[in-house]
Amino acid sequence: MALKNTNPTKTRAWQKLTSHFSDIKEIHLKEFFKNNANRISDFSFSFDNFTVDYSKNRINQETLELLIELANEVDLKEAIEKYFSGDIINTTENRAVLHTALRDNSSKEILVEKVNVKPEIKATLNQIAEFSEKVIYGKWKGFTGKSITNVVNIGIGGSDLGPNMIVEALQFYKNHLNLHFVSNVDGDHISEIIKKLHPETTLFVIVSKTFTTQETITNATTLKEWFLKSATKKDIAKHFVAVSSNIKEVVEFGISNKNIFPMWNWVGGRFSLWSAVGLSISLSVGFQNFKALLDGASEMDAHFKNTEFEQNIPVISSLISIWYNNFFGCETEAILPYSHYLKKLPEYLQQTSMESNGKSVDRNGKKIDYQTGAIIWGDVGTNMQHAFMQLLHQGTKLIPAEFIGFKESLSDLTAHHKKLMANFCAQTEALAFGKTAEEVHLDLKFNNQSKELSTLLPFKVFGGNKPSTTILIKKLTPNSLGKLIALYEHKVFVQGVVWNIFSFDQFGVELGKELVSKHLNKK
Ligand code: F6P
């Protein structure tokens, strides 16, 4: 059964939120904190080793209540049940959306067209485990009998961003294999990677759900030709494997049937890192760590599915984001991880969110007259403090920001971590509370700059009242990373439900693809 069709702006809750917005839009965060000594604990929610602090958002208790009323009016609870149980909620592609099944540890059956998909998920996990083990422990030999040292993941979009981001994020846990990612059809990308490879010791993992994506097939063909300069066609079986749902095309490419890992049409590309698309992750950090990533996601799934909305982290995150997007009129959202390992997270979340919710037609096929998906962007702290944070602090735009930090560091350079986290706290505080003219005045006086007072004062004032959420996690582990990614997946899902759009298709990327052949055929 499809998702319900409710125009959110026509709900009672939306009308109430509109008038509530005019009541509180001018209230400064300082005011909110002054009036409630327990604001941090009132607006912080914990789940396992995660604490999410929403207190520095321009909300009060009533805002949350009304946003939850909105979620109830659009039948979010029922939508979540459909999402997890394999209903055809990707209506425009006539598919279920079951990336959550890939990490479901329960013995419960999950049916797609009346067939339980759990056994094939399990069989694929076993295939990933067995294959990774052979490659990591040097039992998988190349055409001259040498073990594999380099792995190249060839894919784009969801077949690249997820595995690429996780491999980088879990570098601390990696083994001796060198992982490379080729995505762009720009020959410069692949040329630079080829320089680092030797055909005898390289494994190529071609990841493409459709196996028709131009960039991926072009890169895979170039690498096959490069490989065949040193080896013969029969050696391909020792060096090329594929992850795809298009077996016919994979076999035609020359890959042996036993080197194919399945993909299913009920897993969307941008949600696929939990499937065999994550093979490169398992090769890089070992299957146990890959499984721990899946388990973390599964735990977040359970939290999302079973927790009442008032305490439900993905639901609250999503509703607050809607509050800024649709009431404050914010166009963008910043993702700011304070971990260099999460450098690729903002880029990954751009696809998760923007390819899903960048839609302007509702579930009735009607043009929408309200805002949907926000522009997602960001970078790691503290680098970004010296790049774009000026605009967040003193610019004219209101940009809600999500700060992600870890209590414990992975390195033993604890002094670095202390400074990193001091910056983390300082930024959210500066954004929220700013610095008044009186404070600047005192500062200048204290620094014997009284003469400069009249000229410098306006430039040194920080208005504050800039919203942020902090996600504080105990430590970056495969398990906590799995939870974090699942949190964002569910946030995107909830937004799509409320905005009454289809989040799981991506027709917007097709026209550009179609026009490519026209341009290719031009003389
Ligand atoms: O960019 C569109 C898209 O279809 C993405 O959704 C997908 O992740 C990517 O292309 C790659 O597709 P495939 O895995 O079929 O090569």
For 178-233, write each residue's pLDDT tens digit. 999 999 999 999 999 999 999 999 999 999 999 999 999 999 999 999 999 999 99
Place of tokens 């065999």: 276
Distance CA(125)–CA(130), nearest Å, equals: 9
Eight-class DSSP state of 3: P
Atom 10 of ligand 1, residue of closest alpha carbon: 157
Cα–ligand 1 centroid distance for 158 (angstroms): 6
Task: Find, among 277, 287, 245, 292, the residue nearest to 351 by Cα.
Answer: 277
Residues with CB under 6 A from ligand 1: 156-159, 208-210, 213, 216, 269-270, 355, 506, 509
Residue 66 corresponds to which amino acid? L
Place of tokens 């399990």: 122
Cα–ligand 1 centroid distance for 157 (angstroms): 5
Place of tokens 């590309």: 269
Distance CA(428)–CA(299), nearest Å, equals: 28
Task: Find, among 231, 272, 349, the residue nearest to 98 by Cα.
Answer: 272
Residue 65 backbone phi and psi in degrees, to 5: -60, -45
What is the CB neighbour count within 10 angstroms for residue 507? 11
Residue 70 backbone phi and psi in degrees, to 5: -60, -45
- Predicted confidence at residue 1, as pLDDT, reads 66
Residue 138 corresponds to which amino acid? G
- CATH number of the domain at 111-290, please? 3.40.50.10490
Please confirm, yes or no, whether 386 is among the known catalytic residues: yes
Question: What's the token pair of residue 511?
Answer: 């026209």
Give the gyration radius of the chain's Cα atoms: 25
Q: Is 345 exposed, middle or buried (0-12, 13-18, 19+ CB in 10 A)?
A: buried
Eight-class DSSP state of 336: E
Break the chain into its structural domains and give their ranges.
8-73+307-433+467-505, 111-290
* CB-CB contact of 397 with 356 (8 Å): no
Distance CA(251)–CA(257), nearest Å, equals: 7
What are the DSSP calls for 431-488, one per residue?
HHH-B-HHHHHHHHHHTT-GGGHHHHHHHH-B-----EEEEEES---HHHHHHHHHHH
Cα–ligand 1 centroid distance for 503 (angstroms): 15
| Catalytic hit among 234, 367, 386, 519 | 386
Specify the pTM.
0.97
Cis peptide bond upstream of 100, omega within 30:
no
Atom 5 of ligand 1, residue of closest alpha carbon: 157
Residue 406 pairs in a beta bridge with 473
In which element (H, E) is residue 241 found? strand 240-244
First to last CA, the chain: 49
| Catalytic hit among 215, 355, 402, 489 | 355
Please calculate the CA angle 28-33-39 and round it to the nearest 5 degrees.
Answer: 130
- Give residue 349's Cα distance to chain centre: 3
- Predicted confidence at residue 523, as pLDDT, reads 64
Q: Is 211 exposed, middle or buried (0-12, 13-18, 19+ CB in 10 A)?
A: buried
Q: Ligand 1: which of 185, 509, 510 to mutate, judged by most atoms within 8 Å of the beta carbon?
A: 509
Q: Is 150 exposed, middle or buried (0-12, 13-18, 19+ CB in 10 A)?
A: middle
Q: Ligand 1: which of 506, 510, 511, 513 to mutate, judged by most atoms within 8 Å of the beta carbon?
A: 506
Task: Name the CATH superfamily housing domain 8-73+307-433+467-505.
Answer: Glucose-6-phosphate isomerase like protein; domain 1 (3.40.50.10490)
* CB-CB contact of 279 with 293 (8 Å): no
- Predicted confidence at residue 383, as pLDDT, reads 96
pLDDT by 10s per residue, the chain, length 523? 688 899 999 999 999 999 999 999 999 999 999 999 999 999 999 999 999 999 999 999 999 999 999 999 999 999 999 999 999 999 999 999 999 999 999 999 999 999 999 999 999 999 999 999 999 999 999 999 999 999 999 999 999 999 999 999 999 999 999 999 999 999 999 999 999 999 999 999 999 999 999 999 999 999 999 999 999 999 999 999 999 999 999 999 999 999 999 999 999 999 999 999 999 999 999 999 999 999 999 999 999 999 999 999 999 999 999 999 999 999 999 999 999 999 999 999 999 999 999 999 999 999 999 999 999 999 999 999 999 999 999 999 999 999 999 999 999 999 999 999 999 999 999 999 999 999 998 988 888 887 777 788 899 999 999 999 999 999 999 999 999 999 999 999 999 999 999 999 999 998 998 899 889 888 6
Question: What's the token pair of residue 303?
Answer: 């939290």
Distance CA(481)–CA(401), nearest Å, equals: 19
What three-state secondary structure class fits 231? Answer: coil
What are the DSSP calls for 283-335, one per residue?
HHH-HHHHHHHHHHHHHHHHHHHHS-GGG-HHHHHHHHHHIIIIII---EEEE
- Predicted confidence at residue 518, as pLDDT, reads 86
Q: Ligand 1: which of 210, 215, 217, 352 to mutate, judged by most atoms within 8 Å of the beta carbon?
A: 210
Please confirm, yes or no, whether 355 is among the known catalytic residues: yes
Cα–ligand 1 centroid distance for 164 (angstroms): 15
What is the CB neighbour count within 10 angstroms for residue 365? 8
CA of 216, closest atom in ligand 1: 16
Distance CA(204)–CA(189), nearest Å, equals: 15
Question: What's the token pair of residue 448?
Answer: 């014997």
- Predicted confidence at residue 188, as pLDDT, reads 97
* Biggest alpha carbon–alpha carbon distance for the chain: 81
Task: Find, among 331, 319, 274, 255, the residue nearest to 64 by Cα.
Answer: 319
Domains 8-73+307-433+467-505 and 111-290 alike in fold: yes
Cα–ligand 1 centroid distance for 509 (angstroms): 9
Question: What's the token pair of residue 345?
Answer: 């997270």
Cα–ligand 1 centroid distance for 223 (angstroms): 20
CA of 156, closest atom in ligand 1: 11
